[in-house]
Structure 1
Amino acid sequence: MAHKVFIDGEAGTTGLQIRDRLAPRADIELVQLDPARRKDPLARHDALAEADIAILCLPDAAAREAVELAEGLPVRFIDASTAHRVAPGWVFGFPELTAEARDTIANAARVSNPGCYSTGAIALAAPLVAAGLVAPDEIASINAVSGYTGGGKELIAEMESPGAPAHFTYALAQGHKHLPEIIRHAGLSRRPVFAPSVGQFAQGMTVQIPLHLNGRRIADLHDALAAHYAGARFVRVVEPAARVVPTALNDTNELHLSVHGSDENGCAVLVAVLDNLGKGASGAAVQNLNLMIGAAEDAGL
Structure 2
Amino acid sequence: MTLSVFIDGAAGTTGLEIADRLAGRPEFNLVVLDEARRKDDAARAQALNDADFVILCLPDDAAKAAVGMIRNPRTRVIDASSAHRVAPGWTYGFPEVIGHEAIAGARLVSNPGCYPTGFIGLVAPLVRAGLLPADWPYVCHAVSGYSGGGKALIARFEADADIAFRAYGLALGHKHVPEMQAHAGIAHAPVFAPAVVPAHRGMLVEVPLHLAMMPDAGSPEALRAALHDFYADSAVVQVVDDQPDELLLRASMAPVDTLTLRVLAAQDGTQGRLIAILDNLGKGASGAAVQNLNIMAGLPETAGLRL
**Structure-1-length-normalised TM-score:** 0.96
Residue pairs, 1:134-145, within 5 angstroms: 134-145=132-143
Residue 291 (1) aligns with residue 295 (2): yes
Does the residue aligned with 1:7 lie in a helix, a strand or coil? strand
- 1:59 and 1:218 map into 2 onto residues whose CA distance is 39
Selected match of 2:245 from 238, 242, 262: 242
Other-structure match for 1:116:
114
Other-structure match for 2:146:
148
Unpaired segments of 5 or more residues in structure 2? none
Does the residue aligned with 2:223 lie in a helix, a strand or coil? helix
- 1:93 and 1:249 map into 2 onto residues whose CA distance is 25
The one-letter amino acid of 1:277's match is L
Q: Is the 8 A contact 1:213 1:263 kept in 2?
A: no
- 1:242 and 1:297 map into 2 onto residues whose CA distance is 34
- 1:216 and 1:122 map into 2 onto residues whose CA distance is 18
Residue 13 (1) aligns with residue 17 (2): no
- 2:5 and 2:170 map into 1 onto residues whose CA distance is 38
- 1:288 and 1:180 map into 2 onto residues whose CA distance is 21
- 1:164 and 1:9 map into 2 onto residues whose CA distance is 31
Q: Is the 8 A contact 1:139 1:209 kept in 2?
A: no
Other-structure match for 1:22:
22
- 1:216 and 1:63 map into 2 onto residues whose CA distance is 41
Other-structure match for 1:97:
97
CA offset digits 1:241-275 (Å, max 9, x no partner)? 22112349741110000011125161100000000
Unpaired segments of 5 or more residues in structure 1? none
Q: Is the 8 A contact 1:85 1:113 kept in 2?
A: yes
Selected match of 1:251 from 236, 250, 255: 255
Q: Is the 8 A contact 1:146 1:246 kept in 2?
A: no
Percent identical among aligned pairs is: 53
Does the residue aligned with 2:133 lie in a helix, a strand or coil? coil
Residue pairs, 1:61-210, within 5 angstroms: 61-98=61-98, 101-210=99-208
CA offset digits 1:13-63 (Å, max 9, x no partner)? 000000111121111100111211212211111101220000000000010
Aligned-pair Cα RMSD in Å = 1.4
Other-structure match for 2:280:
276
Q: Is the 8 A contact 2:49 2:71 kept in 1?
A: no
Q: Is the 8 A contact 1:217 1:263 kept in 2?
A: no
Does the residue aligned with 1:279 lie in a helix, a strand or coil? helix
Cα gap change, 1:81 to 1:103, in 2 (>3 Å): same
Does the residue aligned with 2:36 lie in a helix, a strand or coil? helix
The structural deviation recorded for 1:154 is 0.3
Q: Is the 8 A contact 1:147 1:201 kept in 2?
A: yes
The structural deviation recorded for 1:80 is 0.1
Higher mean C-alpha deviation, range 207-216 or range 52-61: 207-216
Cα gap change, 1:11 to 1:275, in 2 (>3 Å): same
- 2:284 and 2:75 map into 1 onto residues whose CA distance is 24
**Structure-2-length-normalised TM-score:** 0.94
The structural deviation recorded for 1:71 is 2.5
Selected match of 2:221 from 207, 219, 237: 219
Aligned positions, number: 299
The structural deviation recorded for 1:188 is 0.8
- 2:258 and 2:182 map into 1 onto residues whose CA distance is 23
- 1:202 and 1:118 map into 2 onto residues whose CA distance is 19
